[in-house]
């Protein structure tokens, strides 16, 4: 482990030189409902991102859990899921595909970093996708293998390879559907490809591989599209054990290493003699129209009569099943409503994990949030406290008239508003579609009137939708000719600070609190107010301003390359622009570019900027890299941009896309793409 210790020393030095601020007091802003708050839940957690695989539980410390998220990073729990937190220190990838926890030493962990898209080899930096290792239960990570594929793969330790000197299982395997099988002999710090066997074996769901190691003999099992294979020479050669169909589930309990359980197009099968003979499980109650495969079978190591699996039926009829009698019969599981669950329980993969010693405990997913069962898998309930991962659609703004009331629109899950500064949130089905909806540039002038740009999909036109009764009902807005108010400008909304009846939504303006709307010819998006009344907006690449509440607009300056956000320092008459991924400054007729902290690859990304209106020397910048998780995604200056502190931590916001400063409390509110919402107090003098 010397390499890892050397890495930690170099990491500490680099973080100090970069101005890393350590354990900053970031406060999560998850969607905690009034009902959950009344039940004593805190802080809540909506989830909202698609897990790439099941919860992974340590065999020797069941309190230690890990959860891989597609483009939302790594979550861990150290108290059996009662609280979840981001664990991203040293993890460069946007997301995760799976983990393996050393079966003897829970401090020793391996993970697969990924994203929603493969790494392009023409990009300038090494791929953040690949394998990561940790020796402190995912508190810190080091990348140990880099590769381009972003999705799929599986990891497993060999329990027979315990190394007393190293205090870890020294042999580990990584199976990739397009790279082959890799083996490590030093606990995962270095890797060598030993076989091409897994190539082409993955089934279609996230290109997941099925990999297991026999806890008694060290035999390696691979299962997938071409059946079940095994290796008795540490993965160098393989022989086929089963070829009666594609395998979608593989379970080899540590408590019974001679037993193998399979699920797939063949149904469910079991071998009690390490694959020499097989028995089909009756699986009564499992509905499989058109012989759909049975997926992701997992058997409880504490009681092998208890099994969980699921079937991907047509038209999103994805049903999850539990058996209490060794697979003779199954019944659909039940996901309890309420608890801390706020979002719709959408259809998701039936990924499950059993507690290693308690047959009554199991973990699953309820839509995009973690669930737990305490009755052997029959019912599951919300168990997601602390996992906030919802993505704000483009932007939000505070209202000077009711700054404690904030309405957020979400790219996938409609919207929610708070009337007490983010402590409690009221979820609203803005689109009326039930499962969710795509909402952008949301704003509320008070607790009754709120609006956003609602869209059919991520890249389709936004249509102005408004509520005038606190989100109880929503209507499409129309212009004087009866046409829908379709957004053609920026995905941003604003409320005039001088007159609560004047509202803005992209290029649209209302003077009667949203009853009627008309297009502005001189502005296609209002971003902020300067000096408590002068509005700043954008017309294509030009900064425009208005001193009459948007009735007319005057050009201030054209910004080369355009801009995605603007801020203003009234004391210095200085404008800041997030432009071309840089922070640009315009003052006294002169342009300059301000150097902001660089990330782990030497890059910068500034797409949002905000100034504390009560202390304009305090400036915030943020930006995501999208292809990896930036280690400098949120930064702050307390001397008007002369020097900067990197506020990015492994447990705070990531991939920040929007920042606004509360006009009264001076807290900076931060939205991280797929990493939830956060706030941080103003810096002390």
**Mind listing the pLDDT tens digit for each residue in 561-590?**
999 999 999 999 999 999 999 999 999 999
Angstrom CA distances, 210 to 117, 266, 482, 542, stand at: 21, 16, 56, 54
Same domain, 182 and 296: no
Same domain, 236 and 155: yes
**∠ CA 125-129-130, rounded to 5°:** 115
Q: What percent of the chain has pLDDT over 70?
A: 96
Query: What's residue 5's pLDDT?
Result: 47
Q: Residue 444 falls within a domain, yes or no? A: yes
Q: What percent of the chain has pLDDT over 90?
A: 92
Query: What's residue 13's pLDDT?
Result: 35
Same domain, 177 and 284: no
Other CB atoms within 10 A of residue 39 CB: 12
Angstrom CA distances, 266 to 281, 324, 419, stand at: 10, 21, 54
Other CB atoms within 10 A of residue 573 CB: 11
Same domain, 482 and 603: yes
Q: In this predicted structure, which of 118-132, 137-151, 625-639 has the lowest mean pLDDT?
A: 118-132
Q: Residue 401 falls within a domain, yes or no? A: no
Q: Region of 206 please: left (phi>0), alpha (psi -120 to 50) or beta.
A: left
Query: What's residue 16's pLDDT?
Result: 35
Same domain, 251 and 152: no
Indicate whether 8 pLDDT > 70: no
Picking from 209, 243, 277, the residue at the C-terminal end of a domain is: 243
pTM of the model: 0.95
Same domain, 302 and 346: yes
Other CB atoms within 10 A of residue 124 CB: 7
Same domain, 530 and 662: yes
Structure confidence by residue, pLDDT tens digits, 516-554: 999 999 999 999 999 878 999 999 999 999 999 999 999
Mean pLDDT of 597-620: 97
Structure confidence by residue, pLDDT tens digits, 371-408: 999 999 999 999 999 999 999 999 999 999 999 999 99
Mean pLDDT of 477-486: 97
Structure confidence by residue, pLDDT tens digits, 315-345: 999 999 999 999 999 999 999 999 999 999 9
Same domain, 187 and 263: no
Query: What's residue 10's pLDDT?
Result: 43
Instruction: Compute the mean pLDDT over every residue in the chain, rounded to the nearest whole number.
Output: 95
SS (H, E, C) 161-214: HEECCCCEECCEEEEECCCEEEEECCCCCCCEEEECCCCCCCCCCCCCCEEEEC
Count of helices and strands (H, E) across the chain: 2, 58
CATH number of the domain that residue 106 is part of: 2.130.10.10
The tokens for 142 are 């080091």
Query: What's residue 23's pLDDT?
Result: 54
In whole angstroms, what is the distance from residue 201 CA to residue 459 CA? 34
Cβ–Cβ < 8 Å for 131, 191: yes
Indicate whether 7 pLDDT > 70: no
DSSP state of 440: E
Same domain, 142 and 193: yes
Q: Residue 41 falls within a domain, yes or no? A: no
Name residue 251's beta-bridge partners: 261
Contacts with 515 (C-beta within 8 Å, 6 or more apart), sequence order: none
Angstrom CA distances, 528 to 63, 156, 498, stand at: 46, 52, 13
Indicate whether 19 pLDDT > 80: no
Picking from 227, 243, 259, the residue at the C-terminal end of a domain is: 243
Q: In this predicted structure, which of 21-30, 65-74, 227-236 has the lowest mean pLDDT?
A: 21-30
Cβ–Cβ < 8 Å for 627, 115: yes
Q: In this predicted structure, which of 61-70, 122-131, 150-159, 541-550 has the lowest mean pLDDT?
A: 122-131
Same domain, 249 and 231: no
- What is the extent of the structural domain holding 662? 406-680
The tokens for 371 are 């669930």
- Residue written as token pair 């305090």: 618
Q: Residue 43 falls within a domain, yes or no? A: no
Q: Residue 35 falls within a domain, yes or no? A: no
Put the strands of the sheet holding 109-114 in their side by side order. Answer: 95-101, 109-114, 130-134, 142-146
Name residue 142's beta-bridge partners: 133
Concatenated DSSP letters of 322-361? EESSTTSB-EE-EE---TT--S---------EE-SS-TT-
Picking from 243, 273, 291, the residue at the C-terminal end of a domain is: 243
Indicate whether 425 pLDDT > 50: yes
Among residues 265, 273, 232, the alpha carbon closest in space to that of 246 is found at 265
The tokens for 24 are 């900053």
Cβ–Cβ < 8 Å for 216, 273: no
Q: Residue 637 falls within a domain, yes or no? A: yes
The tokens for 179 are 């790279």
Which stretch of DSSP H or E encloses residue 10? Answer: helix 2-17
Query: What's residue 684's pLDDT?
Result: 87
The tokens for 181 are 């099988």
Q: Residue 22 falls within a domain, yes or no? A: no
In whole angstroms, what is the distance from residue 474 CA to residue 453 CA? 12
* Helix, strand, coil percent values for the chain (each to nearest 5): 5, 40, 60
Query: What's residue 450's pLDDT?
Result: 98
**∠ CA 62-63-65, rounded to 5°:** 85
Other CB atoms within 10 A of residue 9 CB: 9
Same domain, 539 and 669: yes
Higher pLDDT, 608 or 207: 608
Cβ–Cβ < 8 Å for 246, 292: no
Indicate whether 132 pLDDT > 90: yes
Same domain, 277 and 234: no
Domain count, the chain: 3
Q: pLDDT-based confidence at 166, cuts 50/70/90?
A: confident
Q: Residue 17 falls within a domain, yes or no? A: no
């Amino acid at each position: 482990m010397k390499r890892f210790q050397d890495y930690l020393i170099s990491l500490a030095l680099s973080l100090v030189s970069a101005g890393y601020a350590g354990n900053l007091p970031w406060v999560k802003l998850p969607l905690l409902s009034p009902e959950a708050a009344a039940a004593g839940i805190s802080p809540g957690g909506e989830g909202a991102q698609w897990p790439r695989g099941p919860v992974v539980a340590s065999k020797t410390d069941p309190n230690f859990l890990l959860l891989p998220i597609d483009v939302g990073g790594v979550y861990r729990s150290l108290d059996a899921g009662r609280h979840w937190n981001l664990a991203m220190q040293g993890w460069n990838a946007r997301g995760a595909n799976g983990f393996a926890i050393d079966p003897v030493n829970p401090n020793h962990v391996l993970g697969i970093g990924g994203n929603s898209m493969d790494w392009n080899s023409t990009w300038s930096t090494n791929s953040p996708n690949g394998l990561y290792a940790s020796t402190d239960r995912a508190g810190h990570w080091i990348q140990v293998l880099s590769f381009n594929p972003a999705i799929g793969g599986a990891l497993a330790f060999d329990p027979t390879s315990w190394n007393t000197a190293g205090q870890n299982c020294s042999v580990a395997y990584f199976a990739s559907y397009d790279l082959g099988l890799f083996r490590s002999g030093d606990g995962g710090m270095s890797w060598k490809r030993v076989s091409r066997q897994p190539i082409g074996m993955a089934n279609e769901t996230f290109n997941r591989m099925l990999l297991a190691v026999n806890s008694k003999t060290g035999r390696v099992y691979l299962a997938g599209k071409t059946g079940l294979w095994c290796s008795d020479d540490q993965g160098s050669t393989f022989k086929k054990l089963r070829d009666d169909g594609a395998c979608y589930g593989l379970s080899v309990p540590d408590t019974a290493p001679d037993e193998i359980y399979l699920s797939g197009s063949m149904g469910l099968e079991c071998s009690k003699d390490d694959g020499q003979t097989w028995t089909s499980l009756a699986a009564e109650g499992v509905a499989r129209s058109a012989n759909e495969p049975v997926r992701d079978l997992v058997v409880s190591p504490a009681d092998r009569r208890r099994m969980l699996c699921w079937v991907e039926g047509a038209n999103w009829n994805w049903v999850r099943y539990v058996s209490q009698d060794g697979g003779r019969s199954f019944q659909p599981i039940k996901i309890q409503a309420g608890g801390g669950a706020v979002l719709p329980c959408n259809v998701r993969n039936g990924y499950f994990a059993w507690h290693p010693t308690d047959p009554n405990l199991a973990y699953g997913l309820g839509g995009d949030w973690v669930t737990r069962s305490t009755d052997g898998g029959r019912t599951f309930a919300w168990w997601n406290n602390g996992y906030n991962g919802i993505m704000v659609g483009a932007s939000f703004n505070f209202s000077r008239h009711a700054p404690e009331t904030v309405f957020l629109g979400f790219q996938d899950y409609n919207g929610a508003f708070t009337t007490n500064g983010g402590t409690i949130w009221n979820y609203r089905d803005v689109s009326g579609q039930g499962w969710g909806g795509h909402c952008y540039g949301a704003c509320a002038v008070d607790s009754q009137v709120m609006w956003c740009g609602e869209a059919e999909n991520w890249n389709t036109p936004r249509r102005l939708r408004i509520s005038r009764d606190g989100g109880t009902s929503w209507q499409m807005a129309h212009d004087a000719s009866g046409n829908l108010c379709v957004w053609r400008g920026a995905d941003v909304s604003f409320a005039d600070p001088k007159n609560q009846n004047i509202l803005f939504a992209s290029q649209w303006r209302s003077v009667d609190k949203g009853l009627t709307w008309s297009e502005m010819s001189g502005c296609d998006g209002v971003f902020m107010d300067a000096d408590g009344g002068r509005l700043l907006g954008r017309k294509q690449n030009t900064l425009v301003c208005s001193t009459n509440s948007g009735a007319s607009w005057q050009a201030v300056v054209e910004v080369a390359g355009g801009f995605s956000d603007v801020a203003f320092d009234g004391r210095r008459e200085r404008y800041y622009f997030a432009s071309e991924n840089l922070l640009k400054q315009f003052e006294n007729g002169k342009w300059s570019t301000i150097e902001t902290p660089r990330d782990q690859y030497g890059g910068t990304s500034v797409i949002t900027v905000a100034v504390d209106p009560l202390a304009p020397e305090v400036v915030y910048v943020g930006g995501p890299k999208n292809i990896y998780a930036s280690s400098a995604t949120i930064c702050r200056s307390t001397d008007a941009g002369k020097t900067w502190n990197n506020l990015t931590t492994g447990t705070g916001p990531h991939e920040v896309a929007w920042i606004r400063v509360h006009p009264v409390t001076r807290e900076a509110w931060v939205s991280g793409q797929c990493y939830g919402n956060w706030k941080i107090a103003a810096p002390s003098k």
